[in-house]
Amino acid sequence: MKLGIRIKWQLLRTRLYLERLHPRMFFLPVVVFLLSTLSLTLYYTLFQYTAFWQHWSEANGNAFHFCEMNHMDELVRQPANTWSNLGFFLVGLFTLTLGIHDLKYSERKKSDNFLVRYPVFSIMFGVSSIYLFIGSFFFHASLTEFFQKLDQTGMCSVVVMVLVFNFYKIFPLIRIKGKYKSSHAIMIAFGMGLNYLIYSSLYKININILFPSLVLFVFLTSCYYLLFISKEHYFTNYLWAGVSILVLSSTIWILDRTSVVCNPTSIFQGHALWHIFNAASILFIYLYYRSGVAPLQKVIVAKEERRALRRGE
C-alpha cells in the first residue's frame, strides 16, 4: 500500500514538474495564509458590530440580490459569501510559490513545460488569483462600489491569464528575420495590457456580457488546441475536472441567484459554494497547464516542414 502511494506520488510530481521541489517550500505560503486568516478573523471578532462601510458608495447591480441576509450595520455584511473567498487566496499562494521557485531553477530554460520555462506565467496567475480574493472578499464584506469593481475585474483577470496560456500554447513561436523566437514576452504583454484595459475602461461593460465573452474565448481557443494541435501533450483529466467543477458551481450560482435554493440566515450559502468550487476549478485548470509538454524544437521542425510543403519543396 505504502509503495503504491509512493509510486503514485512520484508520478504526480513528475507529471507536474515538481520532482525537484521539496514540500518545505510551501512552509512560508502556509504561514502567510494562516497569519492572514487569523488577522482577518481577529479584526472581525473585535469590530464585528461596527458600521465601517456606511460612508462608502454602495455597490449596484446584483450586489444585494444574493440569498444571504445583508448585515448592513456590521463590519462584514455577507459573512458566508465573504469568508468563502479564502480558497482563491490559497490557490494564488500555491501558484505564486511554484512560479517563484521555478524562477530560481537554473535549468528551467531547458524544460519542455512553458510554465517552468517562463515562471512569470505562474507568477501572474498567482497574482490574479490573489487579486480576485481581495476584490471578492472585500466586496462581499462591504457591498461597496469600489470593491465591486475589484471583484469583477479580478474575475476577468484570472480568465485573461487562462486565455494567455491558450494563446501561448497555440502560438509558442514567432518568426523574426527568418529565425524563430519564443512568443512568451508578447503573450505576457498582451495579458498585462488586456487586464489594464479591463480595469481602466472595459469594466464599464455589463459584467454579464464581458465575463462570459472572455470565457467563450477561452473555450474556443481550448477547443482549437485540442482539435487541431494536440490531445496528447497535456493531461486533459485535469482540464475536464476543472470544467466539470465550474459547471457545477455555475449551476449552484443560478440556484442561489434565483432563490430556488435559499435560506438567508444559514451559513451554507450557494454563492459561498460558488466561490469554493471556483477556487478548486482554477487550481485544476492551472494543473492542466502545468502537466503539459510542448518541446519548442519539435514545434520549429513542424513549422519548417509546413513551410516547405507550401513552397512545394
Predicted local distance difference test score (pLDDT) of residue 175:
81
Residue whose cell numbers read 462608502: 56
**Is residue 65 domain-resident?**
yes
- Model confidence at 3: pLDDT above 50: no
User: Which neighbouring-strand residues pair with 180?
Assistant: 175
**Most distant CA atoms of the chain, gap in Å:** 77
What's the alpha-carbon Rg for the chain, to the nearest Å?
22
Q: Which residues are CB-contacts of 228 (< 8 A; sequence separation ≥ 6)?
A: none
**Is the CA virtual torsion 112, 113, 119, 121 positive or negative?**
positive
pLDDT digits 0-9 by tens, 257-309: 888 889 999 999 999 999 999 999 999 999 999 988 766 656 555 555 565 56
Boundaries of domain holding 182: 25-311
Number of structural domains the chain divides into: 1
**Is residue 20 domain-resident?**
no
- Model confidence at 239: pLDDT above 60: yes
**Is the CA virtual torsion 186, 235, 296, 312 positive or negative?**
negative
What are φ and ψ of residue 277, in 5° steps? -65, -35
Residue whose cell numbers read 523566437: 181
What CATH number does residue 175 fall under? 1.20.1070
**Is residue 4 domain-resident?**
no
**Is residue 15 domain-resident?**
no
Residue whose cell numbers read 455584511: 77
- Model confidence at 12: pLDDT above 60: no
**Is residue 5 domain-resident?**
no
Predicted local distance difference test score (pLDDT) of residue 200:
96
87 residue type, one letter: G
**Is residue 101 domain-resident?**
yes
**Is residue 202 domain-resident?**
yes
- Model confidence at 72: pLDDT above 50: yes
Predicted local distance difference test score (pLDDT) of residue 138:
97
**Is residue 153 domain-resident?**
yes
